[in-house]
Structure 1
């Protein structure tokens, strides 16, 4: 199974260039599973403290358009997050799982843990979802997701381990200056869950309104780093062994009862 992570600049014309490069990489690597960053198909709305309904609506449309064309990437399955509007008008951040078999993006999890601070005014922009962390399923894999800040709530990594997740995906929008801390967290949740931890992040040059530092990763269930992204190499692919992830559930510290 080949998996790919990335860092993308979502700002206007830059996004199209990154997506073209990502498509080429995915096809050359014959990627099976692709992880995209948090709300990666539009400008990062939460950089502004004051919510704007029109901008949210536009972001919804942008994500709908790109998700409708995910088959162009050539991956067999894709996970990311998207802005949505519920029937009652509530705005949410939804993790979806797209499959080439159905050509549809299934809802998996709505972000529950929401920061609200400079550059990341998420709780001001949208509402938290239900406190449920369900599995997605694709390519004979059980796939868990913790959206960005949710990674730091390690009880859910243990939950996904008990649920026999093969992958634990962390789509992010996280700043420059903290990338090493986030990578360490990704190694920890991989060990906690006994799953491969994948993360993709937004990126923009330092000093821009969008404070996003990139560094996607692929980490194995023992915390070993298999691949990372960088400014020079914004896309990274590694081959993973699902049998290793499944066996890891029986070894330390995963077997230790709660």
Structure 2
């Protein structure tokens, strides 16, 4: 039986003005919702340029409470007004002052559903991904969120390369995994290496779709931000690993993909990867 969910992807370039980035995102959320999008995903840390390319304490000021901070309040209002679930990543400061890169899920009624703190934190300032200066390792485990339209997982960027977290989300009931992302080319890299890495990035996530009988949605920054050129290429893959929607590599784009969740139960019977896995192997 068909169970179509329309997923919206906002591939955007982030400038230096946080308010302008947020307003641009809110405008595009409305436009996608007007076209029928029911679950809308924004890139990782969408409201600012990717600041982890240098170590500068001034960026700590971007962190906010979750929930309760200004970004969550604005997105909650947008979710309710547009009857759309919203997923993204926000810079979080907890009650003790610790800082996290945190995925959030807001339901279509505007209510905050929950959060996941990024577990895999790249420590590679040489290549402009110096995130350990800004974020603690996530301590909430893998989360799934039951929303109006689907049960979803929300992981973040570098988590994409680790199959075990996708598997855990699927085992907990996720029908779709969302990956808010910020990944791209270094200006000094040769073009061939860049393209090989971009294809590998898509391939590893498409494999998660197959291995876990589910949809995967990756939403990236795009364009130049300091020393990186983000490669866009946001996409949706179905449970066979097929690309059913893909954004350009070099410009902003809004996409809608129809995900038929009705195929998942039968696929998990036909290809029972979750049932047959042996979790105690060492």
Deviations 1:199-233 (A, max 9, x none): 1011123x743432111111101101100111456
Is 2:197 aligned against 1:188? no
Between the two proteins, the alignment pairs up a number of residues equal to 254
Q: RMSD value over aligned CA atoms?
A: 2.4
Normalising to structure 2: TM-score of the pair? Answer: 0.81
Deviations 1:46-65 (A, max 9, x none): 121x131x422235366346
Instruction: Tell me which residue corresponds to 2:191.
Output: none
Deviations 1:115-161 (A, max 9, x none): 01132111111111116102111024221122111111112222222
Q: Which structure is larger by alpha-carbon Rg, 1 or 2?
A: 2
Whether the 8 Å contact between 2:216 and 2:238 is mirrored in structure 1 is yes
Alignment of 1:1-258 (within 5 A): 1-12=5-16, 15=21, 18-19=24-25, 22-23=28-29, 25-48=31-54, 50-52=55-57, 54-60=58-64, 63-64=71-72, 66-71=74-79, 74-101=82-109, 103-117=110-124, 118-130=127-139, 132-176=141-185, 177=194, 178-205=197-224, 208-230=226-248, 231-232=250-251, 234-252=253-271, 254=273, 255-258=275-278
What is the rounded CA distance, in whole Å, between the counterparts of 2:24 and 2:122 in structure 1?
27
What is the rounded CA distance, in whole Å, between the counterparts of 2:27 and 2:214 in structure 1?
28
Q: Which moved more, 1:195-204 or 1:239-248?
A: 239-248
Unaligned runs of 5+ in 2: 186-193
Unaligned runs of 5+ in 1: none
Normalising to structure 1: TM-score of the pair? Answer: 0.88
What is the rounded CA distance, in whole Å, between the counterparts of 2:79 and 2:27 in structure 1?
15
Q: Which moved more, 1:180-189 or 1:23-32?
A: 23-32
Deviant stretches of 4+, over 6 Å: none
